[in-house]
Structure 1
Amino acid sequence: MTDSDDLIADYRKSGFGESLGCGRAPAVLVVDFARAYLEDGSPLRAPVEDALAATVTLIGAARAAEVPVLFTRVSLQPGGADGGLFRRKVPALRVFEEGSPLGDFAEGAAPRPGETVVTKQYASAFHGTSLAATLTASGIDTLFICGLTTSGCIRATATDALQHGFRPLVVDEACGDRDRRLHEANLLDLQAKYADVLSLDRALELLR
């Protein structure tokens, strides 16, 4: 038994980790899949090519099933004043200042005309945005969450989704981070406390 297995067993013994399940009206939320994470020379470069491929598959399945797909993007004013202390804490966020091509959507993970795009300045897709109102108005109760990064914007978005009354289903292979250890540790804790963590195969099964 690994240390992770021990921790999962301890969580369950202590009353953590119940399943939320999929509701009646799901959507896919693609969080911040930007070129900044894929371009060499970017301070945010990370090994997320596999996560991109899984995200593209998830998006395609949702569209085929006529399940809504929503996207988030980070956009900061030149100088980053609207990024507040987050921009000060993480200077690398300069790549998302208006006009930087690194802030553009990654190939294959871009919205089609008519699909919702939420622009944000902070980690959570809900903080200071219209996302909760948009989901409520559309009758959406469940989010299949994918994108970047697992320890940052995915974790913050999944936590806030739960706190706003939406079921967060985080798709393992369709999320990525700078290091596999960060990815795995955060998914373990999300599963215990705030979200259901699903395999890509399970997510595709539910979407179909």
Structure 2
Amino acid sequence: MDDVAINYATAFDGHLAFGKRPALLIVDFVMAYLEPSSPLYAGVENALASNERLVALARELRIPVIFTNVVYMPGGADGGLFYQKIPALRAFDAGSPLGAFPPSLQPADNELVISKQYASAFFGTGLAVTLQRMGIDTLVITGLSTSGCVRATALDALQYGFAPFVVREACGDRHPAPHEANLFDLQAKYAEVVSEDSVTALMRAV
């Protein structure tokens, strides 16, 4: 890893500043990744605890909290090739209990929930326009999975002009290898990958 880090540092050594108007964006933290019988189970209980702490902090500081989930028409007519490529996405057919938020991580009545059909929280949704109208300049991104929807969302956040700060402990994947590889690449090219402690300090300083 040290050799890779040195190699990458010769080309990818920039950093993004934490802005003045952040929002916490929790990507797809739903029961499909927590229920052992689910085909998408990822053993992300530690990440759940990190999200619980960050949500509590954001609410304390009155930083907007936004949740995303995935919902398909039964049979996936609105899921296109993504639904075809990943049969496990049937877990998110409308009405499936696997698509529900866990009891300890529920949106408040005044918090936005973005329902999507593809990996990025921006693709095919009104998220970018909503964030612009709110004056948001920075997204603290957490959720599942690191190599899938978190990565896609962070990339699109950058492309739409919102500085993405991905919280290492608050994301998860079904195996450590893709989790770590994607965090490494996100830090190199598209986002700031930060610890829960460091983002807590950044949020409190706003």
| CA–CA separation in structure 2 for the residues paired with 1:107 and 1:170 | 23
Bigger Cα displacement from structure 2, 17-26 vs 89-98: 17-26
Aligned to 1:184: 180
Aligned to 2:10: 13
Match of 2:104 among 104, 108, 116: 108
Q: How does 1:39-54 map to 2 (within 5 A)?
A: 39-54=35-50
1:76 aligns with 2:72: yes
Aligned to 2:29: 33
Aligned to 2:90: 94
Displacement of 1:77 in angstroms is 0.2
| CA–CA separation in structure 2 for the residues paired with 1:83 and 1:17 | 37
Match of 2:54 among 53, 58, 61: 58
| CA–CA separation in structure 2 for the residues paired with 1:17 and 1:158 | 18
| CA–CA separation in structure 1 for the residues paired with 2:77 and 2:13 | 39
Aligned to 1:206: 202
**Runs of 4+ that moved beyond 4 A:** none
Q: How does 1:148-187 map to 2 (within 5 A)?
A: 148-187=144-183
| CA–CA separation in structure 2 for the residues paired with 1:17 and 1:43 | 38
Aligned to 1:85: 81
Bigger Cα displacement from structure 2, 16-25 vs 177-186: 16-25
| CA–CA separation in structure 2 for the residues paired with 1:9 and 1:57 | 34
| CA–CA separation in structure 2 for the residues paired with 1:52 and 1:125 | 19
Bigger Cα displacement from structure 2, 139-148 vs 108-117: 108-117
Superposed CA RMSD in Å reads 0.7
Q: Which amino acid aligns with 1:50?
A: N
| CA–CA separation in structure 1 for the residues paired with 2:109 and 2:194 | 28
| CA–CA separation in structure 2 for the residues paired with 1:124 and 1:13 | 29
Alignment coverage as a number of residue pairs: 204
| CA–CA separation in structure 2 for the residues paired with 1:100 and 1:188 | 33
Superposed CA deviations along residues 64-103 of structure 1, whole A, max 9, x for unmatched, are: 1110000001000000110100000000000000010100
Name the TM-score, length of structure 2 as normaliser.
Answer: 0.97
Identity of aligned residues (%): 58
Secondary structure, in 3 states, of the residue corresponding to 1:23?
A: coil
Assess if the C-alpha contact under 8 Å between 1:30 and 1:146 holds in 2. yes
Assess if the C-alpha contact under 8 Å between 1:27 and 1:68 holds in 2. yes
Instruction: Give structure 2 stretches of 5+ with no counterpart.
Output: none
Secondary structure, in 3 states, of the residue corresponding to 2:79?
A: helix
Displacement of 1:107 in angstroms is 2.4
Q: Which amino acid aligns with 2:9?
A: R
